[in-house]
Amino acid sequence: MPNVFSCRETLAIALGGRMTPYSTLPSRQFWKTGVTPFTSCTIEEIYSPKWPIEGLRIATAGSCFAQEIARALRDRKYNVLDVEPPPSGVSGKLANRFGFGLYSARHGNIYTSRHLLQLTREATGELEIQPQHYLWQKDGRFYDAFRPTVEPSGLPTSEEVVLQRRDHLSRFRSLLSQCDLFIFTLGLTEAWFHKATGLVYQTAPGVSAGKFSDDVHVFRNLTFVEILQDMLSFRNIARRMNPEMRFLLTVSPVPLTATAESRHVLVSTVRSKSTLRAVAGELSETFDDIDYFPSYELLSTPFLGEALFEQNKRTVQRAGVEAVMRSFFAAHEGVETKTKPEVFGTKTSEEVVCEDALLEAFAPQ
């Protein structure tokens, strides 16, 4: 029977036994052995943490998918900070509906790098925003334009919005000063701005509150350079307050609900996610204090088997969320010896608070 050589052996013979830079690389660095045998639920060694997170005081922020990360950390008894907890007696879905318990502060989803930088500059006193620039109205009620959904029905007076915002900024500043690790999920590149001031909103004016005007508001799609500079500026401010702070970046795998660009939403989604992934890679490869976890790759590439999205091709299935979390915690030394997570009941996708999903209401019927 003729000898059958593997491609690797055949290549080695053809090279006369010579060593190449690829001769001694581990299995994970070859497509055949690192990807082909696996699915999103079974893939191994896709993440190599730069440092352990055990014992760190952790802050979480970002787009909707970041809520899943925060919840998984809490379930496993990691020290996830909450500087803006709900009032006594309010918990669960009701607390989440009012922006409590989703992140380490009550800022709601932070979809863009510019929003994160703006909040940080405002909280640390580098930026002063006059109330007339963040007061929105709807049906006689008042809203904070930078987090309009944390009070779903608004507040009765503008003064209450101002007082709430001042308190929120103080708490976010304290979060930056005390956290050891800031986890941020990059979500979108598209954003709406106030023309005269350059202030960025969480969502488009008129979606949840406020009133849109072409004369007052402008759409922009942030570029790689702009997002990179935003994140560098955020890092600089945060580390001035807290020199030992580290950062862990992820990219949300959730596609855009809608695009304001004049093109197909799929093209805009790939453009957005590719840009964010490139920024995260640039930062994590440049700085020892910035790490990247590939949640995006686990869920949004076609190479790991059946897609882990619901029928709308946008909402991540529970199996997908759990696969991502398993990969993350399995990579961190000691996680298997921790106390088993407390069971709170499965959190469904509908319970994740995501303002971006409101745009579906504007799709043609």
Report residues of the chain scoring pLDDT below 70. 1-17, 333-365
CA distance 284 to 167: 33
- pLDDT recorded at residue 23: 86
CA distance 281 to 279: 5
Confidence (pLDDT) at 335: 42
- Name the pairing type of β-strands 217-221 and 181-186: unpaired
Q: Which of 268, 250, 251 is nearest to 259 (CA)?
A: 268
Q: What is the pLDDT of residue 350?
A: 43
pLDDT on residue 340: 39
CA distance 245 to 329: 20
Report the pLDDT value the prediction gives residue 66, as an integer from 0 to 100. Answer: 85
Rg (CA), the chain: 22
Give me 210's structure tokens. 């406020």
What pLDDT was estimated at residue 309?
85
Q: Which run of H or E residues covers position 185?
A: strand 181-186
pTM for this entry: 0.87
So what's the pLDDT on residue 89?
Answer: 86
Contacts of 213 (CB under 8 A, 6+ apart): 205
**pLDDT, tens digit, 9 for 90 and up, residues 198-252:** 999 999 999 999 999 999 999 999 999 999 999 999 999 999 999 999 999 999 9
